């Protein structure tokens, strides 16, 4: 694979795209890939899990579509399903708690341990997990929550991939992030989208068939069943503690950005900085995360793009100055986007600062303050703690195959913003913690900065985004001229 046909990219992540699982261990988890190429997937339906053969025994060919469809029809109509403890809920528990519960399952007395080991191995080794969800999400927020977590008990969150199909046919992917990054998953998703789109419609559904289907069985004592209940309750509480806003607008589109001659992603990041300023005040900006792929290096993953720059602060000040001329605003916008582009290129080339500082911090901690006093002083400084305390975590993923995508907040005082641009406009997936502790300020903010204003508010941030996009477009039009299509706000797919 090549980056825009420029240079080769590391492909090592693709080895874990299928048949891989994050196995919980006390202290540190382990990524495990099946030793022998599997021929099956695992299907989750309600609280039950089923092993379904999707390849021939030799693994060289797929089973006929009608046979796999018949197996899924059998699972959907399985009268024996229902009432069993949803063991998959354990994957949403704290990692050490899940590690302890898994160890207890394997150590169950009598034949129970072997039974649980066989079921866990079926999940661990499966190509992926397919969830047949009982919900029919009918709003963008409901659809996003279905794909992000659902009810929290019928997703195997540790699995490399969970393909999720809702009762109304809407589908998506939920993936475990430790093994790989969005580029690998998006390439897979695009390939699936193109292949499925080229398939002819099936005239009639296949009849239910139990061939190649085996329901996984578990031996759960009272303690294990209690661990499942506790994990389900913890996940439900985590879900309830988040607020979500899915926001779509045509106030700025690809044609507008192309007309400006500026970096598209830089413009979007500038809009997010201006939106946060308007929602929570300035003159300082939130510590911001965006990833840059370092796949140009062997086993490369990501580096951080720090979008909260002096140039971005100057942009916000220019757009907030009532008498600023469009030319001055456009100049500030260009400077901010050029700096963002430079930081992105630094990250791609392995010349960012975050991963280096992370490694140096680990080395300094291992050496101790006495051996490295200067390093210890640096990493103990409140400014560094403030730097690490991400308040605006962002990620972009655009594709004709996607309606959108998102992720959860990284802390109680952080926004999680997934975004993308397309021909008709932009979409945003904004998630944040609600309730106690959801202030826009982290624990280290007061030591180095004036506090931000108010609590986290997805609606206020979305309003800030809308205003920022409109103002940016007006600035572009004033300096570069109008585009063929103007925005009116609020497109729906």
**pLDDT by residue (tens digit) across 349-376?**
999 999 999 999 999 999 888 888 999 8
pLDDT of residue 370: 86
**Same domain (yes/no): 45, 86:** yes
In a domain, 268, yes or no: yes
Longest CA pairwise span in the chain (Å):
79
The token pair that represents 456 in the structure block: 């986290």
In a domain, 488, yes or no: no
CATH number, domain with residue 79 = 3.30.559.70
Confidence of residue 402 (pLDDT cuts 50, 70, 90): confident
**Same domain (yes/no): 32, 102:** yes
**Same domain (yes/no): 97, 167:** yes
| Averaged pLDDT, 106-117 | 96
**Same domain (yes/no): 102, 15:** yes
Portion of the chain with pLDDT greater than 70, in percent: 95
240, 267, 288 - which closes a domain: 240
**Same domain (yes/no): 227, 267:** no
Confidence of residue 323 (pLDDT cuts 50, 70, 90): confident
Point out the residues that are catalytic: 177
Distances (CA, A) of 149 to 143, 356, 407: 10, 33, 10
Confidence of residue 398 (pLDDT cuts 50, 70, 90): confident
Count of domains forming the chain? 2
Mean pLDDT (the chain) is 91
| Burial of 282 per CB tally in 10 Å (0-12, 13-18, 19+) | middle
Q: Which domain holds residue 258?
A: 244-480
171, 206, 240 - which closes a domain: 240
| Averaged pLDDT, 312-339 | 95
CATH number, domain with residue 256 = 3.30.559.10
| Averaged pLDDT, 30-54 | 96
**Same domain (yes/no): 223, 252:** no
pLDDT of residue 273: 98
Buried (b) or exposed (e) across 236-247, using 16+ Cβ within 10 A?
beebebbbbbbb
**Same domain (yes/no): 233, 262:** no
3-state helix, strand, coil in the chain (%, to 5): 40, 15, 40
Which stretches of 1-139 are DSSP H helices? 65-76, 95-106, 112-125
**Same domain (yes/no): 325, 218:** no
Confidence of residue 214 (pLDDT cuts 50, 70, 90): very high
240, 264, 299 - which closes a domain: 240
Count of beta carbons in the 10 Å neighbourhood of residue 55: 18
**Same domain (yes/no): 386, 274:** yes
pLDDT of residue 485: 54
Residue range 480-489, pLDDT digits in tens: 988 655 444 4
């Amino acid at each position: 694979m090549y980056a825009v046909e420029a240079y080769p990219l590391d492909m090592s992540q693709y080895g874990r795209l299928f048949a891989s699982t994050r196995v919980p261990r006390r202290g540190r988890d382990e990524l495990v890939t099946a030793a022998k190429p599997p021929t099956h997937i695992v299907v989750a339906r309600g609280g039950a899990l089923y092993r379904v053969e999707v390849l021939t025994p030799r693994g060289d060919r797929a089973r006929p579509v009608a046979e796999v469809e018949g197996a899924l029809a059998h699972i959907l109509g399985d009268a024996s399903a229902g009432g069993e403890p949803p063991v998959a809920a354990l994957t949403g528990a704290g990692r050490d708690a899940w590690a302890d519960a898994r160890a207890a399952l394997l150590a169950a007395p009598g034949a129970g341990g072997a039974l649980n080991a066989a079921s866990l191995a079926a999940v661990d080794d499966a190509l992926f997990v397919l969830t047949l969800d009982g919900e029919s999400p009918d709003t963008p927020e409901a659809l996003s929550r279905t794909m992000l977590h659902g009810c929290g008990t019928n997703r195997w969150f540790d699995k490399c991939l969970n393909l999720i199909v809702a009762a109304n046919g809407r589908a998506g992917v939920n993936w475990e992030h430790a093994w790989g990054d969005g580029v690998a998953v998006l390439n897979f998703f695009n390939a699936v989208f193109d292949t499925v789109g080229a398939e002819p419609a099936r005239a009639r559904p296949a009849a239910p068939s139990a061939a190649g289907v085996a329901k996984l069985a578990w031996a759960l004592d009272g303690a294990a069943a209690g661990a499942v209940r506790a994990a389900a309750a913890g996940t439900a509480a985590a879900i309830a503690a988040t607020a979500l806003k899915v926001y779509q607008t045509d106030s700025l589109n690809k044609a507008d950005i192309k007309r400006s001659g500026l970096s598209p992603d830089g413009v979007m990041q500038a809009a997010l900085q201006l939106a946060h300023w308007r929602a929570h005040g300035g003159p300082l900006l939130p510590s911001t995360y965006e990833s840059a792929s370092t796949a140009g290096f062997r086993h490369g993953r990501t580096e951080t793009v720090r979008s909260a720059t002096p140039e971005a602060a100057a942009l916000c000040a220019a757009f907030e100055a009532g008498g600023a001329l469009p030319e001055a605003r456009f100049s500030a916008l260009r400077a901010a986007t050029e700096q963002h582009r430079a930081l992105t290129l630094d990250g791609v080339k392995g010349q960012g600062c975050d991963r280096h500082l992370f490694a140096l911090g680990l080395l300094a901690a291992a050496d101790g303050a006495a051996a490295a006093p200067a390093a210890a002083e640096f990493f103990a400084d409140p400014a560094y703690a403030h730097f690490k305390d991400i308040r605006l975590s962002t990620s972009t993923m655009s594709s004709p195959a996607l309606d959108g995508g998102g992720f959860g907040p990284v802390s109680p005082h952080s926004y999680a913003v997934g975004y993308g641009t397309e021909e008709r406009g932009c979409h945003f997936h904004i998630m944040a913690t609600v309730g106690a502790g959801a202030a826009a300020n982290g624990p280290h903010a007061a030591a180095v900065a004036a506090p931000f204003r108010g609590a986290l508010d997805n609606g206020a941030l979305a309003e800030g985004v809308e205003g920022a996009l409109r103002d940016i477009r007006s600035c572009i039009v004033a300096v570069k001229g109008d585009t063929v299509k103007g925005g009116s706000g609020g497109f729906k797919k």
